[in-house]
Every structure is written in structure tokens, then in C-alpha cells.
Amino acid sequence: MDITQLLKDWFKSDKTEVDPSLLAYVLLYSTKNVTGLVDILGHLVSFWKEGDPTCRTKCIELLAQVVTPSQSALDSSTINAIIQFIGERLSDPVLVPRCIDIYLVLMNTNIISSTDVIQLCNAIFSSIKVKKLPQHSRFKILTILSKALEKYANEIQRSKLNFIGGFINCMDSEKDPRNLLVAFELVRTIIDRFDISRHIEDLFEIVFCYFPISFAAASNDPFGITTDDLKDSLRKCLACTPYFAYYATPLLIEKLMTTTGSAKKDAMETISLCAPAYGAHAILPHAQDLFDALVREVYQCSDSSMVDVALQTIHNVVATLGTGISIANIRDPVEKAIDSLLQQCVSELKEPELKNARSAAYILRAAASASDPACTSVTHTALPIIYQQYKSTDPSIRQKAILDILTELLLANRDFQTPLLMYKQQILQIFILSLNETSDTILKQASLGGIHEMVLMKQFLKGEEVNIVINHLTRQLMSTEKQLRYQALTTLGVVAKLYPTILGQLTFPVLLDELPCAEKPIDLPDSYRDVLDAIGVLATHPAVFNIVIHPLLNKLDYACGTIGQQNITYVHDIASTLLHIYKTASAKDGEALVVGQKVLLPSILLKCIPAAIGVPDSWYLDNKLIEVFAMIAAITTRLSTPSDQQLSINDAIKLFVDNDFSNVPSSFEQQYIENNALGIFELNKTNACIDITLLFTAIIGNCCKEVKLCVASVPAFLEKLIQTATKASCDTRRLALSKIAASIINKWANDDIVNCVQTVSNDCLLPTIENVGDINIRRSTFVTLVWIVKSLIIKGHRYGFELLDSIIKLCGSPDLGKDAAESFITLLHQDDLILSKPSHATVSVKKLMQCSESVNILQPELQVNYLLALSHLLQNIPAQVATNEISRLMLPIIVALSSRDKNLILSMLTVAQGIVPDAQETVVQHLGSFIHALLRLTRFQSANVRMMALDCLCSLPVKGKPETLSPFKPSVIKELSTALDDKKRIVRKNAVDCREKW
Amino acid sequence: MSQNLINANPTIYNTKTFVRKETEAEFDDDIEDSIDSQEIFDLIRSISDPEHPLTLEQLNVTQFEHIEVDNQINKILIEFTPTIPHCSMATLIGLCIRVRLLRSLPDRFKVDIRVRKGTHQSEGAVNKQLNDKERVAAALENNHLLEVVNQCLATASLRGAQQVPSN
């Protein structure tokens, strides 16, 4: 049918809607012919002329429906024609919203020309009464204007179109938050792109009328617009151009003085942002009023967050005043402006123990840290007054207040140190005096705080002053007060980086003097642990490490060689300290490693060998010490070059496998060498000697793959290792050998080695574990198996997972079940000594879950083992993996928490604490049972369990939503009353905190 | 509120003098720790003052020495010292202490909260109000008042561990 006839019929009919068939026909027509849409427009014009209002509505409706799907097919002449057509027909307000829809479609086309855009904008500005339109149409208009600016800002500016005026009209009295966000954005674009000099006042008024924004976001707002979004957007508009300064500054200050609460905060934050944009010249005339208002806030406000904002604003305003003023008189305006501020502060400082003095100190710090001239001005005005007031005979409350104020000023001077140098002597004297002449801990703490700041300031303390400070700090290290020791140590930690040599000369002799050695065999002081802690912190800096390592080795020699047996804890502590400082220092610096290779490790090995082969009067050794020394050997090997590693591995094999002592510098009597206690395959050694096989493990386990094991056949060596390990009666030997085997499999695995492992496991390990009667043999074989599995899993080897299945099955065994469950710690935990690579645990979560579920029904008494295995597994895998599985994990977690096994509960509580609070939404159906399981645990026997359960319970409301938790609230609060009366104080503390959170 | 402070410039006292030494016994399940005045002091020392961003301890309003606990007859007596004798915040401060203890102590205790003798003009009235169950309950039904109390209690869980962050 002819299109004209079709349209005619439709227009004449009573139908108001566009039939799908008609629409399809018209669309087809318009795409078939190049001038299709223009033709249709022609028809519409004629219908418009003849028709009544209904007919006109139909015209626009049809056009809107046709234009939307043809958006991509429109050409520029068609666009122009449509714009013309619409532009002449905007007088009827009923039709306008639909016209705007058409405009938006046109604006979204890529080919719309600048002339068309200008024409379109003109039509909007001149013919549409925006205020009367509904929200969504106003939103579309603002969107159209944004698009226009995005595409043709320059063209619009060059044209005669009064865009800014038109826009201001459109935005006038807009109240919808969504529209306002677009409008504010537009204001910023206009300010950015246009010359606004003739519209400043209008633009300012249209924006500032919204200040301060009082908008309460609806909780169900689908767009999620917050008050802060609006505030931020408006604030950015105000800070967008310095042109606004003239109008904005007095008004902002007025708002600051007349409003309260959040409006006042808004005003301060806006000033903070606007000050740098407006510049010093704009602020200066109002500085007095501004500071008065801000300072009043700091002195009188009870809300610390408001005080913080006020201080930040003072800082920003002072910083602004310091910029943009000619260099010749740079000090004058700033000084003048902050003069009154300073005067008030100074008068408050005269009574330092009162609250206002503290506020004044904060204000001074905020101002002084803002700019160089401000810093100079503040320092010269305030400092003399403060230090003149200090008398060491004053009550400590006053002294402390003065020290605190001084510290604030020191903090302000961090970046500008020149003015303070003048007063350095006096300040230093005050701090040192208050540190020495008092027994008041609080005062000493304040003093140490100030000294810390002085040390941190670059180039502030020099020469002799540094020595004095270090001496005083060192004295504090011996204090009986923990807090003082801690503070002194922190400061000395900074010193260690800056002046390692002086620290080595002044502090370490004092520290080391406290520990006994051969030259000075004093009794072990009670405070030795503090001394070691201090060494542990300070000597981690490589330069310091190199200075102290020799004297410290002497102390260790004396400790292990002479007083070890009677002071086992001390020996352990000193060895651990040595390990700690070596570990940290060698990671930072290669020189420490050289010391380790040349001095530390050789001297330790030389002392361990005689002890291990039974030479009398040698070092005291035990397993703990061997672990520490093995770790030292491990670190040294790990960091050495491959060629160095090869050398040490060769030496080690000679010593531990071949019983060849030729490389050991000391000579031993033949009887000890023949005893061959070092030989790793020798099982019939005397039990009196300590086993040091772990040192060999450490060396082998930390070589890189390129290093060769110089043994006849690696598979044969490996098999022998595994066989010996299962037979070894000594636990440490067995573990050390299993670890060597694991390292070899992991590093040098090839087909031969894997075959060897398979043969040994299938022929020996697994049958022993399953069939042998003696539980001890089964248990020791199991340990070896676990380490083999670990090494294979880390490599991601298939056979490892096959063996893992058998371990999972073993969880169901009545006698080895517990061992199997515990073995997951070994399997998944990253071992520091060897095999330190993350393991692949994701696969086994599912398997374990399946096994755990299947056994649940069959043998409830063995369920504990599976749950324990599960909890170990969950503790050692990335939290994200566990969180993904959370809905399936909830049931086992709740079952575990309801058991009576303390270890299981503790372990599962750790797991639950880590994952449940963050995933409350996903496990909402289990939340009730979970909460009640926790509440039951608040009455458990063990205080530890009670505490952890309360902790876990406490983290629920912290991270969860109130609406999810509110049903449980009454019962939780009621149940917690028992915990509030717990017999242990620490439990009660957690209960109080927990109840407070609920 | 910031325009007319009752005591605009109070003295700030040194704090942290009383910190309980941590011992092994704290974790020993067989030893029973009874509630003592140190524990009560820890509960209330870090409550914020309604007028200033400072704790009651910093203003010397609550002091360790002015707390008595009797576990035998389940009685606790707390005396607090307003910063100035005409302090109209005294009742509010007392209410904060009352609410904190209501929420934190087992209900077997009878808690008496009083203004320290001779430190406030209308001692009797304040004491009467603070120890009248019904009046306290009525006060807490006022939402605005409850909000202020909760604001003051927001810092209470610090237990003197650190001072209220004011900067």
C-alpha cells in the first residue's frame, strides 16, 4: 500500500497508538529510500497543518518512534530537517517531552553538525520552559547540553548563541539530586571551556544558592546518590575558578559563622578546597574573620572530627596566604594575617596545663606547617614564651603540657628547620632535663616523644648533640618501664639508619656489657631479654650488624659452651636473636651475607660438629638450637651464588655421608671420628649426642636446581634416605632425612626419581602404614610419607595427589586419623627451612569436603579428624578460596564449633573469624545456628575458647548489616550477660566489647 | 552547644598512671579474677566529656582512688568530680557512667554513682537523680539524650589505651 494512504488512514482513525505494523512499514520505507524520512516529514507537515491537537500529538509520537530505531541511519540533511521541523513546533507544552526525546536521539548521533547543535540549543533556550517539565525531561535537557559542550564547545562559544545564559535558565530552581549532579558537572565544563567573565555573578548565584546542601538521601534511592556526592560536586564547582572568590569568600565566612553541625563542617571543607583556588589576594581581606571563626571551632567544639577539619582549614588558608604574593614583601601579609591568631594562641599558652593551651598548640602546628614564612613567624613568637615557662621544679602536669606543646611545634617544623635551629640548645636541654630529673613515667614519655621528633628532623642535631641524645636514649633502654624502653628503642632504630657507627660505639658496648662472656663471667641479669630485644631491633641494619656480629658470637660461644646447660632459655634467646638480625640484615645487604659465609656459619658449624660427635667440653646443643642454626645455614645457602652452593654441598656430603673430616680445620681424636655419629645413614650411634642432620638438610634444601648432588646415583641415594628415615628411631633424624628426601624430589625430580618414589611408596611406605602392627612404626613411616607428598604437591605432580587421597582416607582410621588430620598443617603450611613455595590447595578442598560428608553419617566419632583436617586446610589456603566455598563450609564449621574437642574448636574459630564476618550475606540462613554455637562457646571450660568465641561474635556486627542481625540481637544481649560475669577478667573485657558492638 | 561552654578551658591531667600488669595468671583457667576497682576504672576512664574531645580521665573527673568495689555484698561505689562546682553537665556525665556500667557489668551488682563530696553545688539533687532507677530509665527514653550518651560512650572501649584522638 502507498505510504501516503497508510498515514492518512491512521491519522483519520481513532487510534492514538502507533501500530507495530504501521511502524514497521514506515521504517521500511524510510530505509529503502534515501530521502525516506524527509518524505515522511513532508507528510507530517501537511497533517500538522490540517489536523487538530490529537493529530499533532500523533505526528510527534510517530516521528519519535521512527527516529529512535533509525538513529544510526540518519544523515545530516535529515537531522537538519528534523531539527527544523521540531524547532517550529515547540509551542505546545504537551508535546515538548516527546520532542526532547527526539532531540536526545539526534544529539547521540555521530554526524550531527555544529550548526545543527547550535540550532538545537537555541530552540531549547528560546522555546522550552524547562522549569515546568517533569524531572526526566529536565534530566534529558541537561544531558543534551552536556553532549553539546562535549562535541562543539568551541563552535558554540564562537556562535552568537548565549549558551551560558540559556543554561542558567535551564538550571534555575532545579532540585532533583540526579539532575543537580549533571548540572554541577556542566557548570564546571562551562567554567573550564568558556569565557565566563560576563556571567560570573549569574553563574555564581545559580551555584551558591545550593550551599550548604541539606539533602537526606533516601535509603531506597535506585541511583545511590549520597549527600557527599552532591556536596563534593558543588564544592568542586565553587573551587573551579578564582573569579568566584569575590562573591564566595564573604558568603562562605558568613555561613561558617552562622551555621552549626554538618553545614558548618561543609563550610570549612569548602573553604579548605577553595582557598588555594582563590589565592591569597582574595582571602587576605577576610583573613581576620575567617581565623576567628575557625579558631573558635578548635577551642570550643566537642567533636574531634570537627576540630580536625577546622585545623586542616587553618592549614590550607595559611598555606594560601603564603603563595602568590610578591617575593619582596613575602613576610608582611602572612605575618599580618596570622598575627591576631598568634596573639590569642600566645596568651593561651601561658597556662599550658589548661585545655585551651593544647588547642592553641594544635592551631600553631596547623599554621606553622603550612608555609615557610608562617613557620618562621610562629616559631619566633611562640617558642621563647614556651621555653621560658619551663621549670623543672613545676608540677609534672605542667611540665608535660609544655613538652607536648614543644613537640607539636617540632612536628610543624619537620619540613622547615631554619627557624628552630636558633632555639635548638634550649629545646634539647628541656627535653634531656625532663628525661633525667624525674621519675614520672608520663613526663619521660613526653620527653622521648620530642626527642624522637628531633632525631627525625633532617640535619637538626649535629656532632656532640647526637652523642648526647644517643647516650640518654641508651640509658632508657635499661629502664624498668616497658613503654619507655619501647620508645627509646624506636628512636634508636631511626638513629641506627642515620648514624650506625656512633650507635655501634655508644649503645652496643652498654648493651653487650649486660650479657655474660668469658672475659666477664657475670650472673645473667633478669633484664637480659630486654637487652636481646634491643639488639634484635637495632642490629638489623646492615652497617650495625657488621659491627656487632663478632662480640655477639663471643657471647653465644660463652652461652653455649659454658653456661648453656643451666640457662637453656637464655641460650635459645641469644641464638634466636642472632638468627633474626642475620636474616633481616642479609636480606638488605650483601655485606652481611659475606659475614655470614665467612664468619657466622663456619664458627657455628665448627662448634656443632664436636658436640655432635661426642667430644667432651663442647657446646651445649638441643633441638631448638639446631633448628636455629639450620635456619642460619639455610639463609646463607639460599643467598649464595650457585658455585658457592656447589662447594658447600660437596663439603657437606663429604662430612655427613662419607665421614670425611679432612675439610674441618680442627682435629679430633680418632675415636670420635670412627664413631661416625654424623653419618646420616648410620643409625646405631649413641643416644647421648645431639643429632645435627638438620644442618645438612638446610644446606641441601636451599640449593638451586643447577647444583649437582655428587653421589653415585641420585635415585639410589633417595631410596636409601627414605628407607633410613622410616627406620630411624630418633625423631629429629627421621624428620631431617624426610625433609632431605622431599627437597631432592622437589628439586631434581625426573622420571627415574619419580619411579623410585613410586616404588618405595607402593612397596614399602603404604603397606607399612596399612599393615604393620606396631603403631609407632606406622606413625614414623607416615611422617616420611607426608613430606614426600608435600614435595610432590608443591610441584603439582599427579602422583602427589594420588598419595594425598590415601592420606585423606587415613583421616578415617581410628589410630592414625589424628596424625592424618594434623598432617595437613605440614602439607599446606609454608615451611621456612625448605620447600618454601606456595602449594596448590584448591583441588583438595572439594575432595576433603566429599570425604568429610560421606564419613559424617557412618562414623560420627571419626568426624572430628576430618573437621580438624578441614580447619587446618582452611587456615592454610588463601581466604578467597575459602570464601567462595563458604555456603558449603558453614555446616562443618557449625558442627565443629558444637563439638567438645578444644583444639578443633580453637582451630575452627580461627577459620570462622577469618571468613564468616565478611560473608554474612551469603550465609544468612546459617547465621542463627552460627551465632548460637558461638554463644554456647562463651560458656566453654577453656578461657581461650571463650575469648575467641566472643571475638568472633564481636566481629559480626562490626562487618555485618544491622537489618540482617537485628533478629538475633535480643538473644545475644541476653546470653552475653553470663559472659559479663565470667570468672576471668580478660574474658569479661571481650564480653563488654562484644556487647557494646551488638 | 559550642557557643556557651560551661567550662570552656578545663585543666588537662596526665593519664595512664594505672595500667594493670599483664601476668601469666590472666590466662590461667583455675584462678578466678574478681571484679576490682581497676577493672571498673578501665571501663569508665575513656568515656568522652560531653563538652570537649577529652576523656573523663584526662579531666580528672573519674579517678582510680574514688572507686570502691565489694564483691561480697555485690556493691560498687563510684564518686566523680565535676571540673567546676556549678557544672550542669554533672548529671549527664553521671548518666554516661551509669549507662556504661549497666551495659558492662553483671546485674548482681548494685552500683552507686555519686558526685564527690564538696565538689558540686547541687550534689544532693544530682546524686538523687543518678541513683533513682526510674529517673534514669525515663532519661534514657529520650532519644536525643540517648544519642548524646552513646556519643560519649563511643570512646569508652579504649580503656585508657590511647587518648581520644583530637588531632
Q: Supply the ipTM of this predicted assembly.
A: 0.89
d(CA A135, CA A143): 12
Res A219: pLDDT: 66
Nearest-CB residue to B52 (from A302, A351, A986): A302
Q: For residue A702, what is the DSSP state? A: T
Exposed (0-12), middle (13-18) or buried (19+): which is A589, by Cβ within 10 Å? middle
Is A995 within 8 Å of B103 when comparing Cβ atoms?
Answer: yes
State how far residue A965 is from chain B, nearest Cα, in angstroms. Answer: 19
Question: What value does the mean pLDDT take over residues A73-89?
Answer: 84
What's the pTM? 0.75
For β-strands B62-70 and B75-80, DSSP reports them as antiparallel
Q: How far is CA A331 from the centre of its chain?
A: 42
Whether residue A385 is predicted with pLDDT greater than 80 in this model: the reply is: yes
Cβ count near A471 (within 10 Å): 14
**CB < 8 Å to A396, chain B:** 14
pLDDT top residue among A902 and A831: A902
User: What does the pLDDT look like over A321-374, one tens digit per residue?
Assistant: 877 555 555 556 667 777 878 888 888 888 888 888 888 889 988 888 888 888
User: What does the pLDDT look like over B49-62, one tens digit per residue?
Assistant: 888 888 888 888 88
- The three cell numbers locating residue A446: 613526653
CB-based contact A779:A819 (threshold 8 Å): yes
Interface check for B9 against chain A (CB to CB < 8 A): the answer is yes
How far is CA A980 from each of CA A951, A966, A973, B15, B34, rounded to the nearest angstrom? 14, 21, 10, 27, 12
Whether residue A862 is predicted with pLDDT greater than 70 in this model: the reply is: no
Whether residue B165 is predicted with pLDDT greater than 50 in this model: the reply is: no
CB-based contact A273:A234 (threshold 8 Å): no
Domains and CATH numbers, chain B: 33-156 (3.30.300.130)
**CB < 8 Å to B27, chain A:** 943-944, 986
State how far residue A916 is from chain B, nearest Cα, in angstroms. Answer: 24
Q: Which of A553, A701, A732, A680 is nearest to A634 (CA)?
A: A701
Res A1: pLDDT: 60
Whether residue B166 is predicted with pLDDT greater than 50 in this model: the reply is: no
Whether residue B40 is predicted with pLDDT greater than 70 in this model: the reply is: yes
Is B26 within 8 Å of A984 when comparing Cβ atoms?
Answer: yes
Whether residue A688 is predicted with pLDDT greater than 60 in this model: the reply is: no
Is A996 within 8 Å of B166 when comparing Cβ atoms?
Answer: no
Place of cell 532533583: A176
Cβ count near A33 (within 10 Å): 13
Provide φ and ψ at A631, rounded to 5°. -65, -40
Place of cell 631491633: A537
Query: Which residues face A10 on adjacent strands?
Result: none
Question: What value does the mean pLDDT take over residues A538-565?
Answer: 82
Whether residue B30 is predicted with pLDDT greater than 50 in this model: the reply is: yes
pLDDT band at residue B164 under the 50/70/90 scheme? very low
pLDDT top residue among A901 and A307: A307
Cβ count near A458 (within 10 Å): 9
Res A623: pLDDT: 80
- The three cell numbers locating residue A205: 548565584
Res B4: pLDDT: 66
CB-based contact A189:A143 (threshold 8 Å): no
Interface check for B157 against chain A (CB to CB < 8 A): the answer is yes
Residues in chain B: 167
Place of cell 564538696: B118
Question: What value does the mean pLDDT take over residues A866-889?
Answer: 71
Query: Which residues face A842 on adjacent strands?
Result: none
Among A224-228, A255-259, A615-619, the least confident range:
A615-619
Helix (H) or strand (E) holding A28: helix A20-32
Res A34: pLDDT: 65
How far is CA A124 from each of CA A84, A97, A120, A191, A198, rounded to the nearest angstrom? 12, 11, 6, 21, 22
Is B14 within 8 Å of A396 when comparing Cβ atoms?
Answer: yes
Among A189-193, A530-534, B74-78, the least confident range:
A530-534
**CB < 8 Å to B16, chain A:** 442
DSSP H helical ranges for A350-423: 355-368, 372-389, 396-412, 418-421
CB-based contact A11:A60 (threshold 8 Å): no
Whether residue A855 is predicted with pLDDT greater than 50 in this model: the reply is: no
- The three cell numbers locating residue A641: 651464588
Interface check for A311 against chain B (CB to CB < 8 A): the answer is yes
Whether residue A30 is predicted with pLDDT greater than 80 in this model: the reply is: no
Query: Which residues face B79 on adjacent strands?
Result: B114
Among A33-47, A100-114, A476-490, A580-594, the least confident range:
A33-47
Nearest-CB residue to A985 (from B5, B33, B165): B33
Question: What value does the mean pLDDT take over residues B111-138?
Answer: 89
CB-based contact A637:A698 (threshold 8 Å): yes
Nearest-CB residue to B39 (from A358, A397, A985): A985
Res A840: pLDDT: 35
Q: What is the DSSP string of A752-790?
A: HHHHHHHHHIIIIIHHHHHH-S-HHHHHHHHHHHHHHHH
Is B54 within 8 Å of A355 when comparing Cβ atoms?
Answer: yes
Categorise residue A414: left if φ over 0, alpha if ψ from -120 to 50, beta otherwise.
alpha
Nearest-CB residue to A355 (from B14, B42, B52): B52
Question: What value does the mean pLDDT take over residues B89-117?
Answer: 89
pLDDT band at residue A674 under the 50/70/90 scheme? low
Is B104 within 8 Å of A992 when comparing Cβ atoms?
Answer: yes
Strand order in the sheet with B75-80: B62-70, B75-80, B110-115
pLDDT top residue among A38 and A830: A38
The residue of chain B with its CA nearest to that of A257 is: B3
Query: Which residues face A418 on adjacent strands?
Result: none
Res A111: pLDDT: 84
Q: Residue A61: how many CA atoms within 13 Å on its side-chain side? A: 18
Interface check for A398 against chain B (CB to CB < 8 A): the answer is no
pLDDT band at residue A440 under the 50/70/90 scheme? confident
- Which residues 248-307 of chain A have a CB within 8 Å of chain B? 260, 296-297, 299-304, 307
Interface check for B118 against chain A (CB to CB < 8 A): the answer is no
Residues 6+ apart with CB under 8 A from A798: none
Q: Residue A795: how many CA atoms within 13 Å on its side-chain side? A: 19
Mean pLDDT across chain A, nearest whole number? 80
Whether residue A868 is predicted with pLDDT greater than 80 in this model: the reply is: no
d(CA A742, CA A748): 10
